[in-house]
Structure 1
Amino acid sequence: MKKRILSIIAMGLILVPFLFATVSAKTLKIGSMSPLTGPYASDGTDIKNGVWTAIKVFEEAGGIPGYDKIEFFPQDTACDPRQAVAAANKLLNLGVVGVVGAYCSSSTIPGSEVLAEEDVVMITPASTHQDVTDRGLEYMFRMCGRDDDQAPAAAKFMKEALSAKTIFIVDDKTTYSQGLADGVEKACKDLGIKILGHEHVNQGDKDFSAILTMAKLRNADIFYMSLQGFSPAAMMTLQAKRLGLKSQIVTQDACFQPKYMEVAKTAAEGVYLTYGFTDPSTPEYKAFEEIYVPKYGKIAAYSTYAYDSATALLKAIKAAGSTKSAKIKAELMKLDYQGVAKRVKFRANGDSGSSYIAFKIINAEFVPYWEPASGLIK
């Protein structure tokens, strides 16, 4: 009997440290918000994959002292404002300390209002509408550029590189797309480019024949598409070519996605678009490419920005030695390093700067073509 009691006591002594370690083990929770279903799911999945990659790299480099693992909770916004609010509330309930997202500005803006109620840091890799950071939310950051930088760059490109005198503009009435289209219209007017039309389609439309027929009759030098994602833009491009539209097609950063060319096929050849400059020759980009491509395939639009956003968040948490938002923000503001997509250095309002250039699609590749300072690249 004594041996049995001693055996039980001994087992208890062995189990105590194990149980204590289990209880004391800590998990760092971060989340993402992006469209994982619906027409923009490819871009949203790129964001999720970029964050996953950053977490993997960070953990392999030793993680964050005091935490045994980093747990990631990707949430689907479907680019719907109401679903974005629900996603943000779910992340708060899960206890995340930071969020990467969202994709559509129309999701990021209401979602960030929810997160702001609990002072949760949010870094968007894709939402370019100026209101994202101009509202003055204390813990709102942006890794990508701004529409009020993209629009003037696009207008300058069309004026200087394409010698445009007239333009026909179409958008889909979303916060991002219409905001950018309005900016392009204003910037074109300022440069003396005549607006021959600014029309709107609806999200979910698949037949653009009415708008395209109108554009063909106006015969502007430029047909400017500002749509929420690559899929409707690819369909519009295909239909424009079939209809015999002669205007030069110019579009925006939402089309910087390999699948745009897969859907539009040869109709995409010769299309121009604006997107932030990323140098693929840097050691940081090449290291990311070696990890990302074997698992997820070709690097797409916002995977690099999402990676940089998650990395910045994790760097700040590690440097702060805390998950308190004020301390995380303080460390984010100190960051100054070469990321994968760009140099990471935040301004006082949470922006990290814009670097828009124009690309031309040549042989199904996005080829750098023009930049604002010196003009033609090739």
Structure 2
Amino acid sequence: MKRTVIMALLTAAILMLGSGVAGAETLKIGTMGPLTGPYAADGNDIKNGAQTAVDVFLEQGGIPGFDTIKLLPQDTACDPRQAVAAANKLINEEADAVVGSYCSSATLPASQVLDEENIIMITPASTNEMVTTRGLPYMFRMCGRDDDQSTIALDFMQKKLGSKSIYIVDDKTAYSQGLADNVEELSKKRGLKVLGHEHVNQGDKDFSAILTKVKSMNPDVFYMSMQNSATGALMLIQAKRMGIKAEVVAQDAVYHPQLIDIAKNAAEGVYLTFGFIDDSAPAYKEFLAKYEPKFGSPGAYSGYAYDSAMAYLKAVKAAGTTDPAKVKEEMMKLDYDGATKHIKFKPNGDSGSNYIIRKVKDGKFVNYWNPATGELY
């Protein structure tokens, strides 16, 4: 009899150990982004930013009712089909939410798949307007939108640079071409002469044919809408060698430390639209103190990914559950200063745009022009 009781107790103990804390479960957050290929720097920044948020929450004691918080990174390679496969894998792994993706062309189809399973998705980097205009109830965005970004770019070109003509180049992705099309449309409406709008292919390394056209047309502004900073850096190097004199204006996907690392002197003087981040703010300093020792200097979207994961975790803690409807309700109540911006979501899931103009000066990105005031920083 004693032997039977002992065996029963041992079996129960083993079952409890195998399941962790009795009654508790693991909170799972998926990340989606390009972890390999030409956009890998940004994808890994997103993964690392989300991981930092998880680390912060775990250091603070986690969330009641959950034994731990686990990150499930998935590689999309910025490919729509791979993004759908990644979304399905996260569904199979029972992810409670997803931070991602990077390329809008990956976020758009993946979000449709996740929405069918009522899984909350927060993108830290996809700026195409359609991300939040399709009425998906669990789609959120931490970064800004292309329609806002293109407006700021045009304001800068005309009000500050006094530009009269523009030549536009994009790489045919949903993000870069969508933004470039916005810039072209606005230019025509505002009387900025569009001298050309060309497209390159992802993976191209020789841009001499298009750059020859740019040089011959001699625009006031060469608008460069690329999906990643490495491609942008190559184009800048070749434009400088060719002697193109136009002011170069680029966008938030080109904004990354590796732009300067690769292009070096050729990046000097380039203007970029990017969300304003106050690196002197307490919340940013707290983020940096946790991120830098483990991952080094943050990339362009590290902070946005951190804020995306933090917003979700705060909402889960407030809701006391991962039930998507209840978590969404708490997310809509959020109103606080994050690392990158003040976080308060609109009914459609956007968190607002706060674009400014930054410039590469002396090998560093510096705040240059404030569109709200029209003044230089």
Amino acid at match of 2:233: A
Q: Cα offset for 1:26? A: 1.3
Amino acid at match of 2:15: L
Counterpart residue number, 1:44: 43
TM alignment of 1:226-241, pairs within 5 A? 226-241=225-240
Q: Cα offset for 1:181? A: 0.4
Matched position secondary structure for 1:334: coil
- The farther-off stretch of 11-20 and 291-300 is 11-20
TM alignment of 1:130-209, pairs within 5 A? 130-209=129-208
Pick one of 12, 22, 26 that aligns with 1:16. Answer: 12
Counterpart residue number, 2:307: 308
Gaps of 5+ in 1: none
Matched position secondary structure for 1:28: strand
Q: Cα offset for 1:15? A: 6.1
Alpha-carbon distance in structure 1 between the residues aligned to 2:120 and 2:126: 15
Matched position secondary structure for 1:274: strand
Alpha-carbon distance in structure 2 between the residues aligned to 1:188 and 1:359: 21
Amino acid at match of 2:240: K
- The farther-off stretch of 7-16 and 88-97 is 7-16
Counterpart residue number, 2:253: 254
Q: Contact (CA 8 Å) 1:159, 1:191: kept in 2 or not?
A: no
Matched position secondary structure for 2:66: coil
Counterpart residue number, 1:244: 243
Q: Cα offset for 1:186? A: 1.7
Task: Give the length in aligned residue pairs.
Answer: 374
TM alignment of 1:94-133, pairs within 5 A? 94-133=93-132
Counterpart residue number, 2:215: 216
Matched position secondary structure for 2:253: helix
Alpha-carbon distance in structure 2 between the residues aligned to 1:42 and 1:235: 16
Q: Cα offset for 1:364? A: 1.5
Amino acid at match of 1:121: I
Matched position secondary structure for 2:157: helix
Counterpart residue number, 1:334: 333
- The farther-off stretch of 181-190 and 199-208 is 181-190
Q: Cα offset for 1:6? A: 3.7
TM alignment of 1:339-358, pairs within 5 A? 339-358=338-357
Matched position secondary structure for 1:63: coil
Matched position secondary structure for 1:54: helix
Alpha-carbon distance in structure 2 between the residues aligned to 1:129 and 1:101: 13
Q: Cα offset for 1:297? A: 1.1
Gaps of 5+ in 2: none
Q: Cα offset for 1:205? A: 0.6
Q: Contact (CA 8 Å) 1:152, 1:187: kept in 2 or not?
A: yes
Amino acid at match of 1:309: S
Q: What do residues 3-54 of structure 1 show as CA deviations (whole Å, max 9, x unaligned)?
A: xx64674475466356336433411111011000110000000000001000
Matched position secondary structure for 2:127: coil
Counterpart residue number, 2:318: 319
Amino acid at match of 2:139: M
Amino acid at match of 2:35: L
Alpha-carbon distance in structure 1 between the residues aligned to 2:321 and 2:25: 13
Q: Contact (CA 8 Å) 1:221, 1:248: kept in 2 or not?
A: yes
Q: Cα offset for 1:377? A: 2.3
- Give the alignment's TM-score, normalised by structure 2: 0.97
Matched position secondary structure for 2:269: coil
Matched position secondary structure for 2:140: strand
Matched, 1:90 2:89: yes
Matched position secondary structure for 1:261: helix
Q: Contact (CA 8 Å) 1:172, 1:200: kept in 2 or not?
A: yes
Alpha-carbon distance in structure 1 between the residues aligned to 2:12 and 2:91: 33
Amino acid at match of 2:249: V
Amino acid at match of 1:218: M
Question: Aligned-pair RMSD on alpha carbons?
Answer: 1.3
Amino acid at match of 1:324: D
Alpha-carbon distance in structure 1 between the residues aligned to 2:229 and 2:301: 12
- The farther-off stretch of 178-187 and 137-146 is 178-187
- Give the alignment's TM-score, normalised by structure 1: 0.96
Amino acid at match of 1:316: A
Q: Cα offset for 1:153? A: 0.4
Matched position secondary structure for 2:265: helix
Counterpart residue number, 1:81: 80
> Identity of aligned pairs, percent?
60
Matched position secondary structure for 2:132: helix
Counterpart residue number, 1:270: 269
Q: Contact (CA 8 Å) 1:55, 1:70: kept in 2 or not?
A: yes
Q: Cα offset for 1:291? A: 1.2
Alpha-carbon distance in structure 1 between the residues aligned to 2:44 and 2:36: 9
Alpha-carbon distance in structure 1 between the residues aligned to 2:175 and 2:297: 25
Q: What do residues 284-332 of structure 1 show as CA deviations (whole Å, max 9, x unaligned)?
A: 1011111111111111100000000000111111111111111111111
Q: Cα offset for 1:191? A: 2.5
Alpha-carbon distance in structure 1 between the residues aligned to 2:12 and 2:70: 26
Matched position secondary structure for 2:166: strand
Q: What do residues 270-292 of structure 1 show as CA deviations (whole Å, max 9, x unaligned)?
A: 00000000110111101111111
Amino acid at match of 1:59: L
